[in-house]
Structure formats: C-alpha cells, structure tokens
Amino acid sequence: MQPLISLVIIDSDHSARTAIEATLRPFSETIGIVGSASDFSEGLGMIEKSSPNVVMLEVGDIQKGMQEVQLICAKFPRTSVIVSATEKSSDWILSLMRAGAVEYMLRPITQEELKQALQKVGRFLFTKGADDTPRGRIFSIYYPTGGVGTTTVAVNLAASLASEGTRVALVDLNLYSGDISTFLDVSPTYTLSSVTSNIERLDANFLMTVMTRHSSGPFVLTEPNEVDDAILITPDQVRRILEFLRGVFTYVVVDCGGPLAGCNLAIFESSDLILFTTTLSLPALKNSKRYLSAMERKGLRKDRVKLVVNRYLPKADIQVKDAEKVLGHTVYQTIPNDYIDVVGSINKGMPVVRISPGSPVSKAILHLAEMMTK
C-alpha cells in the first residue's frame, strides 16, 4: 500500500536525519520517506524527481532559508514545507512562514511534535475529492465603496476558516481597488487576470499552479496588477472561476466592492452568503440603506445577505438597534474597533487572527466563521 504522505528530508546533521527517519518508522504505512539529503542542492534534485507532499528543511541562516522555502513553494506549489531551526526568534518564525513554510519546529524535534505537524499537513493535503464531498460554499464580503474594512474581514475570515487544515480559497474580486496582496504581503507571479486570460485551460492543476498558498492557510488569487486587465474581466468568467473553485475548495471567500452590476452581480448569484459590511456612521448607513434596498429588489433575499458591523464601539452615538431599525436588517455580527492590532497585522502581512488570536477583533471574526459554517 502506498503511503498517504511522501516526505523529503533536507538536513546537514546526519544524526538529525537518522532521528527523523527513526521517529517516522512506526508510521510507514501513512508516511513514506522518498529522499534524505545533507544539502539543499541534493535535496532539490530529490524533490524534482519525486514531487513529495512534504519537505522537512533545516534552516541555519535566515536569508538562505527564506530563499530556499520560496524556491520550493514557487517550483512545487503542491509541496508543503516544514522548517526546523534552533532559533526561537519570532522574526525567524514570521519570516519563514511568510516565505511559505506551513510549520516552524524548534530543534531537537520530538516524536510527538513531528507527528502533530505531519498530521496537520496531512489533513490539509488529503481532504476528500470533489466527487466525494458536497460542493464548496462561497462567501462574498461586500460594500460598494472603500473604507469600511471589507478586506480586513475577508482576509481574516479566510484564515479563520483554514485554521483546521480546511481547504480555503481567498479571491480578490474588488477589481479596481483590490488590496489582498498588500494585506498579506504577497507579490505573486500570477493574478486573477492570469486565470481569466487562460479560462479555457482552467482545471485543478492549472488553478493550483497560479494560486499562491499563504502561510496563514488560504490559497490566494489576488487582484489584477493593471486596471486595463480588470476592465477585460467579464461576469461569465467570474461565474466560471467561482464554480470551479467551489468544486476544489471547501470554502471560497471573495472580497468585492463597486457597483451593483456586472461582475458583482455574478459574484452574488454564485454566493451562498453575502456579508454586507458597514460601520455605524451616518454616511455609511445612508449608503448601506440604498444598496441593501437595491439588492433586495434584484432578488437577493435577506436570508442570504448578512449585515456585519465593523469597527464597532459599544458607546458610540449610533447603536446597533438604531442601525437595524434604519436598514431593516438584523445585525449578524459586530467586529470591535481594534485599530492597533489590525494595522499591526497588515504591516506584518499576516492576518490578525493568526498573530493576535486573543484580541477582541480576532475573537469576533473567529466567532463569525463558526456561525457561517454551522
């Protein structure tokens, strides 16, 4: 029987390689070591030959380690990288995770720690195929103009949904002012326009090649680099992309904004839930009322459109009950105003639910994810 997880070890310490092999020997039916190398060049050859699910990479120099992780992730997007190092610095951990590593392990590695790390990666890699599971659910995060934090909600919701290894896609369909690449500090080779311009080639292999796997969990498809590229994207292309993503991922989170027409209507038609995100300010509520009424006239029922109040302050002049009365919608979830933690997470390129899971805004978004998946 072929093991479920194939593994390549790249480690300069012979005794460490031997210890990892001995640790994994009892699990040989599920984890198969297909290569063990003492240096990166040799290990890279093994990866090219065997296309393993996982690479265990020793890191002794942070800059070199980041480059090696980035190279593996770029050339082999289906391979997960677990790094091991003696350095306890949070800068090392964050830098290597941002480079694409899915786990950071302190040396020496214990059997239990290694087992847990591989179990986590295994859950991420080996969910049932699309033919065996219900179609994935699509959640769109929307407000017609900028400034209310839709991208903050989208990025953190996607990371929350992916927290247990669930396959999650995060797509930036805010075509003219998308910002997911900035929030996650990614500069992908391929963007949304790479998919739309090759729509006839769309299949699982092509999709996984062009999407960027962020260290916080989701597979990311970022906004077009050029405005001219965005103009060429059609509602039919959006429908096709979302329908395909639904067949590959358990959850698809879409960040969107702009007019209630064209591609946005295509997004809403495909969405299981639409999180209409607003704030408790007079201008935002006035605009929200106009658009919520228009959405209802277009057949988007209230049970599919959920009202989320972002940057919530309990002692603000306008209260939740006032907003509900004005908008004719019950508030689905409030997300506290947590400027310092949120801005800090954006500057670090990592969702706040990952770097400050105990913060009020993180707890609110994690609760939001729980409600949406019941």
Record: fold of 5-125: Rossmann fold (3.40.50)
Split at pLDDT 50, 70, 90, the class of 271 is very high
Q: Each residue of 305-347: pLDDT tens digit?
A: 999 999 999 989 999 999 999 999 999 999 999 999 999 999 9
Task: Pick the range with the lowest mean pLDDT from 25-34, 134-143, 281-290.
Answer: 25-34
Q: Is the pTM above the cut of 0.75?
A: no
**Two tokens, residue 246:** 């639904």
Q: Are 137 and 218 in contact (CB under 8 A)?
A: no
Q: Distance between CA atoms of 153 and 157, rounded to whole angstroms?
A: 6
> What architecture does CATH give domain 137-372?
3-Layer(aba) Sandwich (3.40)
pLDDT at 118: 77
pLDDT at 128: 37
Q: Distance between CA atoms of 276 and 327, rounded to whole angstroms?
A: 11
Q: What percent of the chain clears pLDDT 70, i.e. is strictly above it?
A: 92
Q: How many helices (H) and strands (E) does the chain have?
A: 17, 13
Q: Are 264 and 256 in contact (CB under 8 A)?
A: yes
User: Per-domain residue ranges for the chain?
Assistant: 5-125, 137-372
Q: Are 146 and 260 in contact (CB under 8 A)?
A: no
Q: Each residue of 209-242: pLDDT tens digit?
A: 678 889 898 999 988 878 888 888 999 999 999 9
pLDDT at 261: 94
Q: Each residue of 90-126: pLDDT tens digit?
A: 889 878 887 888 888 999 888 888 877 776 666 555 4
Residue 105, Cβ density class (10 Å: 0-12 exposed, 13-18 middle, ≥19 buried): middle
Return left, alpha or beta for 287; rule: phi > 0 is left, psi -120 to 50 is alpha, else beta. alpha
> Are 5-125 and 137-372 in the same CATH fold?
yes
| Torsion sign across C-alpha atoms 180, 102, 76, 44 | positive
